[in-house]
Amino acid sequence: MNYLAHIYLSGDDEELKIGNFIADSVKGKQFIHFPLRVQKGIILHRAIDTFTDTHPTVSLSSQRLFESYSHYSRVIEDIYYDHFLAANWEDYSPVPLNEYVENFYMLLRQNKSILPSKVRQFMPYMFKDNWLLSYSSIEGIGKILWQMNHRTGRKSKMDLAVKDLQEYYELFEAEFRSFFADLENYTREHIPKL
């Protein structure tokens, strides 16, 4: 899953959200240097990634992309799945997406001092281009995939994956909905055990 899903799956716990959001920038056991609830968010992120990587529906989605994008197919799929969460946000949250996103950006600003340097470096770009809100449109996803292709030295051809999203939109969306229901159940059960 990508940023929006990780944040959403943390529920209303702000420190859990921060940990879940920054987890990819925290390697190994470095998480022990963060406040306890942020640590638990990092652990939650890792559990979500493991659950996602081993889920059979996720494998179906990534197999559809693998021939064209090889090992980048899972990254693309994560972005697609965040798109479906954002595009169908009203099915998951009573808080409008733009308000939810602004509240999260404010949370990051208020806790900037504890964020890893890598996160602090990309935050201005995240805010300027409003990454989380941009997931809701095909155009926004296209821009994100273009930027990611640029970051890989144009080797990944991820910019072309917006066409795959459009071609198989209903199929990817059905797979997302099926998988995400399982992931929500898993997360609800897992959080109290942290």
What is d(CA 7, CA 114) in angstroms, rounded to the nearest whole number? 17
Longest alpha-carbon distance in the chain? 45
Burial class (CB in 10 A: 0-12, 13-18, 19+), 94: exposed
Per-residue pLDDT of the chain (194 residues), as tens digits, is 689 999 999 999 999 999 999 999 999 999 999 999 999 999 999 999 999 999 999 999 999 999 999 999 999 999 999 999 999 999 999 999 999 999 999 999 999 999 999 999 999 999 999 999 999 999 999 999 999 999 899 889 999 999 999 999 999 999 999 999 999 999 999 999 99
pLDDT at site 1: 60
CB 7 within 8 A of CB 21: yes
Instruction: Give pLDDT, residue 161.
Output: 97
- 15's CB contacts (< 8 A; 6+ apart) are 35, 37, 38, 40, 41
DSSP type of residue 40: H
Show the domain range for 105.
3-193
Cα 36-40-43 angle, rounded to 5 deg: 140
Q: Give the chain's domain count.
A: 1
Question: What is the per-residue pLDDT for 143?
Answer: 94
**pLDDT score recorded for residue 2:** 87
Predicted local distance difference test score (pLDDT) of residue 96:
98
How much is the pLDDT for 79? Answer: 95
pLDDT of residue 180: 98
Cβ-based neighbours of 123, under 8 Å, separated by 6 or more: 108, 112, 115
